[in-house]
Structure 1
Amino acid sequence: MDLPQRLKAALEGTGFAGVVLVGRSDSLVWQQGYGDADRQRHVRNGPATAFDVGSLTKQFTAAAILALEQDGRLTVQDSLGMYFPSAPADKRGITLHQLLTHTAGLREYLGRDERWLSQPDFLRQTLRSKLVFAPGSAYQYSNVGYSLLAVVIERVSSLPYERYLHQRLFQPAGLTATGYRLTTWPDSTVAVGYVRERRWGKPMTKGWAPDGPSWNLRGNGGMLSTAQDMWRWHQALAGGRILAPATQAKLYQPYVAKKPGGAISYGYGWSVYESKRGTRVVSHGGSNDIFFVHYVRYLDPRDGGTVLFVATNQSPDVARKVSQVLMGVLFPD
């Protein structure tokens, strides 16, 4: 039984609804849709189906910050005081590095994703909020921090956040179906989210403005993308088409342990850890509790340039479980 057959067999009987993609080196090994993108209209999931990829958005935000650094327009050691002169004293010294690594001491979120929050209101609430800990002293995952990075991107680039990502990252990488509002997806290609048997709907119908979602979500989550585009993103990164090797390496440095003494660290928009073989792996999940995705990239050449992307439009979360099953097939050690 060849590898695609073994991967397919591993999902038989799981009831999984979504899409799976596996690549090695420069070749797609397997891509397959399961179940319905829209049950009422009997539209099937497939590699071109657009899913809400949740916090995978953070890797795009991190790459955008590093692109600006590579282009000489900022450094990750810049402080918030440089971009927000009115920031209070407790936040003025927070660095972009601390925002990228979730060590700035900012709270996790300000409100629900669909609750509308303008950029001015987001900044006002963020800069007035009480820090959870002294900047640089601990790790706590913060969606707020990545939305703040999106504001920095706008101020430095003089472009809307999504526009800058399209021009500097997505178009050079060949991504054609990733973003908030700048991409026009045919209605039939966007997956509908389901909570068990109840239809939740499509992300862009949940309080989005004409230019994108609330600043509770913008920059930290909520982008739509496809398995095909996530494969192209992997290829663009692996091929050095977006960031120079030395710049890109900053994405994958294990800067801070996610748990004290733990084996998983956080880089810039990526979780970083070692496989059982002692090779470096980077991954990230994404979820709004309706859609769930898991994206895993094996960076060591000994692992054959393997990449795995799993997305589902059904709740509860089965994406990570499916990923673990498939990783066991890919690396049966």
Structure 2
Amino acid sequence: MRIASISKLITALMTVNLAQKGNVDLNENLVEFLKSNEIQLAMGDQEVDCMTFKQLLSHTAGVTDEGSHEVFSSRNYPTVKDGLQMFINDKLLFKPGSEYNYTTFGYSLLSNILEKSSGKSFEQLLSDFTSKLGLPHTRLDSFEEIILNRCQYYCKGDNGKLKNCPYVDDSCRWAGGGIVSTAQDIANLVTEFETQAELKLHYGYGMRVFHEQESHGKTAQYFKLSHNGGAVVLVLPLGKHMSGGKPRGITVVMFSNSLERDVIRLAHEIAASFEEQIEDGENTKYEKRVAFKKFLLGLAPTANVSSRHV
């Protein structure tokens, strides 16, 4: 199914993977690069003098969000750059790096830069990445293509009865909301990375970072990415480590093709249940230990090496 904003996690991992290969520099000032590709950024009457990959990844670049545009757009844009027409003439909301504003369009701009930097289309970059990690069901949600077992999406009408959701063309937001996948593919993906987390901004590269005070006084840190209650990736690091010093944790991935389902709450309940079993030492039968590939260098690595797939 279409994984909506979970797409940002995949795009973030693709970007950092390219950085580790030396293809992009996360701290590079992109302003001159954008100007050379006829993209002029401005904040009010002032031109912008700096914008980086890191800022686009963590929603601190000042790019506008979808609130002022047609969210359920049915218009098809042949290329990623064509899709920038949806927002590229909007002024930035603030000076890049000074504030936070969650935006799908920031990831659209990011994907255009990745195309120019690599010489490949975003679709090809995604295909290269998913092939490398063995994610056979992860691809762009192209309306024209036949995608096996692609599900229908439902919502409630004014009468309270379920109906088909309006048709949406995601070609203006491939990188931030237009990828289809399966829960198994995303669970496998999560076992292959350590989350990057800008803790002071509560949003890392593709996932939110939360700190909650528990009843016994300890502060729990967990990572989550969700969309409208219908899709969630929840990563819960645990303080204990396995033999050999490897970290451990719980990952829950859940999708629903109805906007009326609150899978976020259920994901937390499932994670809490498994956490209790692990703390009690009753997890040997169910726990799957995975040696993670550390190709994504995190500012605050999570404990994802030992996980349960529910």
TM-score normalised by structure 1 residue count: 0.67
- Aligned length in residues: 250
Q: Which structure dedicates a bigger proportion of its chain to helix?
A: 1
Distance 1:129 1:65, change over 3 A: same
Q: CA deviation at 1:181?
A: 5.2
Contact 1:207 1:214 in 2 (8 A): no
* Secondary structure in 2 matching 1:266: coil
Distance 1:163 1:101, change over 3 A: same
Q: 1:101 — aligned with what?
A: 58
Say if 2:265 is the partner of 1:321.
yes
CA root-mean-square deviation: 2.6
Q: Which deviates more, 113-122 or 293-302?
A: 113-122
Distance 1:129 1:255, change over 3 A: farther
Counterpart among 164, 168, 171 of residue 200 in structure 1: 164
Counterpart among 186, 189, 204 of residue 230 in structure 1: 186
Matches within 5 A, 1:67-146: 67-85=17-35, 86=38, 87-88=40-41, 90-109=47-66, 110-116=69-75, 118=77, 119-124=80-85, 126-146=87-107
Say if 2:302 is the partner of 1:302.
no
Distance 1:312 1:88, change over 3 A: closer
Distance 1:92 1:84, change over 3 A: farther
Contact 1:105 1:139 in 2 (8 A): yes
RCO greater where, 1 or 2, for CA within 8 Å and sep 6 or more?
Answer: 1
CA distance in 1, matches of 2:262, 2:89: 38
Distance 1:306 1:54, change over 3 A: same
Distance 1:58 1:176, change over 3 A: same
Contact 2:155 2:163 in 1 (8 A): yes
Q: 1:272 — aligned with what?
A: 209
Q: CA deviation at 1:267?
A: 0.5
* Secondary structure in 1 matching 2:175: coil
CA distance in 2, matches of 1:285, 1:88: 29
Contact 1:101 1:255 in 2 (8 A): no
Distance 1:55 1:88, change over 3 A: closer
Aligned-residue sequence identity (percent) comes to: 22
* Secondary structure in 2 matching 1:142: coil
Distance 1:185 1:121, change over 3 A: closer
Deviation per CA, 1:273-325, whole angstroms, max 9, x where unpaired? 346454542210024xxx81011123446284311011111222411121232
Q: Which runs of 5+ in 2 are unaligned?
A: 242-247, 280-310
Say if 2:139 is the partner of 1:179.
yes
Q: CA deviation at 1:91?
A: 3.7
Q: 1:159 — aligned with what?
A: 120
Q: CA deviation at 1:170?
A: 0.8
CA distance in 1, matches of 2:235, 2:127: 22
Deviation per CA, 1:212-271, whole angstroms, max 9, x where unpaired? x321x211012111111112112222xxxxxxxxxx5xx4223443xxxxxxx1001111
The one-letter code sitting in structure 2 at the alignment partner of 1:64 is M
The one-letter code sitting in structure 2 at the alignment partner of 1:102 is H
CA distance in 1, matches of 2:198, 2:134: 28
CA distance in 2, matches of 1:62, 1:224: 16
4+ runs of 1 displaced by more than 6 Å? Answer: none
Q: 2:226 — aligned with what?
A: 285
Q: CA deviation at 1:146?
A: 0.7
Q: Which deviates more, 114-123 or 132-141?
A: 114-123
CA distance in 2, matches of 1:62, 1:148: 13
Distance 1:113 1:84, change over 3 A: farther
Contact 2:140 2:178 in 1 (8 A): yes
Distance 1:121 1:254, change over 3 A: same
Q: 2:2 — aligned with what?
A: 52
CA distance in 1, matches of 2:121, 2:70: 22
Contact 1:286 1:293 in 2 (8 A): yes
